[in-house]
Structure 1
Amino acid sequence: MAPAKNSESRVLALIKHPFVETFTWLYLIAQAVLRYVFSPVPPPPSNSNSEIPKRESRAQDKGLGGIWSRVNSTSALQVHSLMYRFHPSVHYDSAYPSQQQIKEQIVALWKRYDLERRTVFETRVTSVKKNDKGQWIINNNEEEYGLFDGVVTAVGVCGDPQMPTLPDQEKFKGQIFHSSNLDGKDAKGKKILIVGSGASAIEALEFAVKSGAAEIDVLSRSDKWIIPRNVLVQSLLAMNVLGQETSLSWIPEWFLKKFFYRDLQDIAPTDDGIFTETPMANSELFDQIREGKAHWLRGDIVSVEEKGISFNHRAQGVPKGGPGKERLIEGDIIVMATGFKRPSLNFLPDVVFEEPYGPPNWYLQVFPPKYPDICANNSTFVNAIGTVGNMHIGIYTRFLIMFLTDPLTRPTEQRMKTWIDFTRFMKRFAPTKAFDFFTYAELIYWYIFVLLINPFRWKWALFVFFGIGRALPLMVVEQESAFRKELLKQRKDN
């Protein structure tokens, strides 16, 4: 009966929402095509333990899945899943999948490619350095950990929860939780105070709404751009090839205020442009505000009282700490939507942090100029729009494979620094630093430029962009290696 019911509901949905449902069906078909064409064939089963396992400092339940193992079950993807395909083989049943769906896809991928025997949990990496032969040693212990040709630092940008102490918070008679620790908490019929903004605030909002909270107040020190959960809007914003605020940025900002904010334009930013910080993606917040169930309050926390938070409510355009009207915002639960600590990269060699080429000012933002065999994948990013998924994570990793496999494609330290300086020059008028904000279209420009400037990289283009066509460049590299060996032999003989 279940399949018939599901089919019936699909048909009814198609009649009621023909455009949305048609797009959904096309998306499901597209996912099937992506899996068939671009997913690498899993390796054959092996009982060999000769391969050196990868290291992960957390336990399996908190490590496998990254940040998706450490957020609430009520959390969901904020960008359209079309823009969050961390591997071609992932399969989503909805546009904005839940935490559980995403984690299930990660675990399935981990098992499908036999990564269980290649992963060691609860092993903290404190240092990586090169030996005399140019290979990498972990924790100064070659015997225990082995030798490596390259390093991928996939620590991400979200580590442990960041939980600052509020003034006089010991007075509060209710409960205080971090936004990532809300599963199992009873919020039904209660007043929720959310401290902070950004993705963590959206996570807390989703919990409060799904838990049946009576009232939700978001207390934010500053205004932040909010965009709808709409793949068209998100894609158009990500198409800014310059990756910065320009004289034309007022156009998307005007459209957002006019057609998305509408009657709530007083909570839209007035000083910061859409291309300066990562916007929040949520369509539910405004609905909750219009229904009177939620409020977005701009201001500063003065102190915590028994029944809530004493809050200095500022008007639009008044800076942090500026004048406002102080009042008590009552609540039963305070949720600290204060984000996460950024994981440290201190295990990398000291030289990669030397200015003016310290992170995020690296080649393609992830390769330190001294070492093209280090790929800090998704670990140096600051702010961006539409830049998640295998479309760039996979590309960066395949750049690393190309550099390790083909010596003629490797950039020299000076050329890497020249590229960084060139990017700084191109973005010299940006309100943020060159690598503090970028868009997906800007990344595509980077990739194409870097491939085109070196003819030896041309043969790798299909592999770098799509993960296919590796046989041809490998064959060419073998021929080049054989030629170099023969040439070296002839020189020795002469």
Structure 2
Amino acid sequence: MGRSIRVAVIGAGMAGILAAIKLRERDIECVVFEKGDSVGGTWRENQYPGLACDVAAHWYTYSFARNPEWDSLMAEGKDIRAYFERVARDFGIMPLIRFNDEVVQLRFDEAGWDLLTASGHTDRFDVVIAATGVLHHPNIPHFDGIETFSGAAFHSVHWDHDVELDGKRIGVIGTGSTAAQLTSALVPRADQFQLFQRTAQWVMPRENISYTEEDKARFRENPAVLEELVRELRSKTLEGFANAVIDYDSPELAAIEQLCQENLETIRDPDLRQRLTPSYRAACKRLVISNTFYDAIQQPNAELVTSPIERVEPEGLRTADGQLHELDVLVLATGFKVDRFIRPTRVIGRNGVDLDAVWADGPKAYLSMSVPDFPNFFLLNGPNSPVGNFSLVEVAQHQIEYILQLVDGIRRGEYTEVSATEEAMQQFETERCEAAQKTVWVTGCDSWYLDKQGVPASWTFSYDRFEQETKAPRMQDYQVHAAHSSTASQGGVREQDQAGRRVK
């Protein structure tokens, strides 16, 4: 099919594995660059006790590689990592990956990208696909005196498995999903457990049902049964959650709020219940999904600390009320810098444009995948992609199929360079920001969903619109350079209709 091209994929997590598989299906040469020593991305980086996915496991799989072997509705992190490792092996992409070699610079020149890695390796590619994820650059707040702490202290993503936990005095800073999972996992092991809370979180209960060996056998023997389960899980989540977050007046959001409130009422102690009650609407921050957190925090050896942290001392944490909380282990469950994407890799586009400068006020991309003046450079799960309590695997599948339609145009020789126009991106951003005003994310909370301007850094439209937008590119929204031509064309080499089909 046309000329041969080479594609660099940055990252060997969920999205990078997907990209490599889909490129191989098209017989497109690709090299995957991975900064770590194995595949798995988020599920390799995060290995803390209690780690699990809050999305139904059977939906959190590639549509072409379902897994009938999940033990429960929401899988443990180690099992998810094993799934991605198995898919990478089964689909033969392991030989395509350069491990332990982080990409430090990409520079566009003459319809291609020059790539440089930390080891000094250089290469050139026609296309770059950034599949770098967002949950791997830890957010580590500064605490005065942290360097004086005599015990073990680390961020949850840098879990020290050599540290003894049983019978220890353990403190966890944070109250998001990671902190909730850690609380459930560590309270039974600790002599004393203290959770340091700055902001209370809404917790939605969800029974993590187990699958029997008979269930697994039925899924293996009849894939149609497994697909029906996936459709059911998907439908319930999208109808109940995706519709709720984009409309703060929706009955779906009211139902979520009721579930969260009823769950909160299971806290027996009125004072503890009051301190665990958020001051904002449910789903304004990412919901914590747990059937075990409230039970764990009510155990006799567990304590919720709401007085602000003043400083760290050798023996533990000193809070603003003057109390010293003595600890052996201190865990920072303080989340991630979710606006990094491909950075700190330096990306230089057309005419020397630096991606850091373009994203100085916050990362943006047309339909979350293409940035003006960065031709043949695409992002999976990029800026303002759909986020929340649903399958990012499915999101990435929609995006890679869209991106590969643009890549196919390069292979066919219709153009050598393609990137979104500034006008298309600005129109998309205007609509996205207008739609944001109806979402639950702007109803009065401070969350990692919000950018520097207080606008949700997320897909603020319906999930149906996301699926429609990613069916096929509208070439009028792209600037292309035709083969053997030095002039750019606004709107593509040929006019296309809304579905992306060529108009004769």
If the length of structure 2 is used for normalisation, what is the TM-score?
A: 0.67
Q: Distance in 1 between matches of 2:290 and 2:40?
A: 23
Instruction: Confirm whether residue 151 of structure 1 aligns to residue 151 of structure 2.
Output: no
Q: What's the Cα RMSD here?
A: 4.0
98, 115, 118: which is aligned to 2:96? 118
In 2, the alpha carbon distance for the partners of 1:93 and 1:399 equals 33
Pair 1:358–1:414, CA change in 2 (3 A): farther
Return the offset for 1:111. 1.2
User: 1:416/1:266 Cα in 2 relative to 1: closer, same or farther (>3 Å)?
Assistant: same
Structure 2 vs 1, CA of residues 268 and 245 (structure 1 numbering), >3 Å: closer, same or farther? farther
Deviation string for 1:172-198 (max 9, x for gaps)?
Answer: 443323323142432222221111232
**Kindly tell me: are residues 395 and 452 of structure 1, through their superposed partners in 2, closer, same or farther at Cα, counting changes over 3 Å?**
closer
Matched, 1:214 2:213: no
Structure 2 contact 405–472 (Cα < 8 Å) conserved: no
- Please state if 1:418 is matched with 2:427: yes
Contact kept in structure 2, 1:228 and 1:260, CA below 8 Å: yes
Letter of the structure 1 residue corresponding to residue 395 of structure 2: H
Structure 1: distance between partners of 2:370 and 2:249? 28
Alignment of 1:72-111 (within 5 A): 72=47, 74=49, 75-86=51-62, 88-91=64-67, 92-111=70-89
SS at match of 2:195: strand
Q: Summarize the Cα distance change of 1:148–1:387 in structure 2 as closer, same or farther, 3 Å threshold.
A: farther
How far is the alpha carbon of 1:152 from its aligned partner? 1.4
Query: What secondary structure does 2:79 align onto?
Result: helix
1:277 lines up with 2:285 in the alignment = yes
Describe the shift of the 1:229–1:331 C-alpha distance in structure 2 as closer, same or farther (beyond 3 A): farther
Give the aligned partner of residue 261 of structure 2. 258
Letter of the 1:366 partner, please give it. Answer: M
Which is further off, 151-160 or 430-439? 430-439
Cα distance per residue 1:231-275 (max 9 Å; x no partner) = 798555522276364476862454134321114452455443334
Q: Tell me, which stretches of 5 or more residues in structure 1 are unaligned? A: 1-39, 313-324, 458-478, 484-494
Q: 1:333 aligns with which of 312, 322, 329?
A: 329
Hey, what's the Cα distance between the residues in 1 that align with 2:121 and 2:266? Answer: 62
- After TM superposition, give the deviation of residue 426 of structure 1 in Å: 2.5
Distance 2:399 2:22 in 1: 20
Identical amino acids, percent of aligned pairs: 17
C-alpha spacing 1:351/1:335, structure 2 compared with 1 (3 Å): closer
Matched pairs, number? 400
Once residues 368 and 42 of structure 1 are traced to their aligned partners in structure 2, the CA distance between those partners, rounded to angstroms, is 21
1:343-375 deviations in whole A, cap 9, x for unaligned? 525422345455689654321223213446322
Per-residue deviation, residues 447-490 of structure 1 (Å, max 9, x unmatched)? 31464895999xxxxxxxxxxxxxxxxxxxxx979x9xxxxxxx
Q: Does 1:135 align with 2:137?
A: no
Aligned AA for 1:339? Answer: G
Distance, in Å, in 2 between the alignment partners of 1:235 and 1:295 is 36
Query: d(CA) in 2 for partners of 1:119 and 1:93?
Result: 30
* One-letter code aligned to 1:238: F
Q: Which amino acid aligns with 2:426?
A: K
Matched, 1:436 2:457: yes
Corresponding position of 1:70:
45
**Cα 1:206/1:289, change in 2 over 3 Å:** closer
Q: CA deviation at 1:309?
A: 2.0
SS where residue 415 of structure 1 aligns?
helix
Offset from partner CA, 1:147-178 (integer Å, 9 cap, x none):
43322111111335444453334554433233
Task: Return the offset for 1:90.
Answer: 4.1
1:68 aligned partner, one-letter code: W
Tell me by how many angstroms 1:377 deviates.
1.5
Check conservation: 2:202, 2:283, Cα contact below 8 A: no
Structure 2 CA distance, aligned partners of 1:57 and 1:235? 34
The amino acid that maps onto 1:225 is W
> 1:188–1:398: structure 2 CA closer, same or farther, 3 Å change rule?
same
Q: Measure how far apart 1:213 and its partner are.
A: 1.5
Q: Distance in 1 between matches of 2:42 and 2:247?
A: 28
Amino acid paired to 1:283: N
User: What is the CA–CA distance in structure 2 between the aligned matches of 1:276 and 1:254, rounded to whole Å?
Assistant: 11
Query: Quick one: distance in 2 between partners of 1:412 and 1:54?
Result: 28
Q: Does the CA contact (< 8 Å) of 1:375 and 1:396 recur in 2?
A: no
CA–CA distance in structure 2, aligned partners of residues 391 and 175 of structure 1: 38
- Structure 2 letter corresponding to 1:224: Q
- Rounded Cα–Cα distance in structure 1 between residues aligned with 2:103 and 2:326: 45
Distance 1:423 1:434, change over 3 A: same
Q: Distance in 2 between matches of 1:382 and 1:304?
A: 37
Where 1:394 maps in the other structure, the secondary structure is: helix
Quick one: which amino acid aligns to residue 329 of structure 2? Answer: I
The structure that is helix-richer by fraction is 1
8 Å CA contact retained: 2:172, 2:196: yes
2:237 matches 1:228: no
1:292 is matched with which residue: 288, 300, 309?
300
CA distance in 2, matches of 1:296, 1:237: 31
Q: CA deviation at 1:207?
A: 4.1
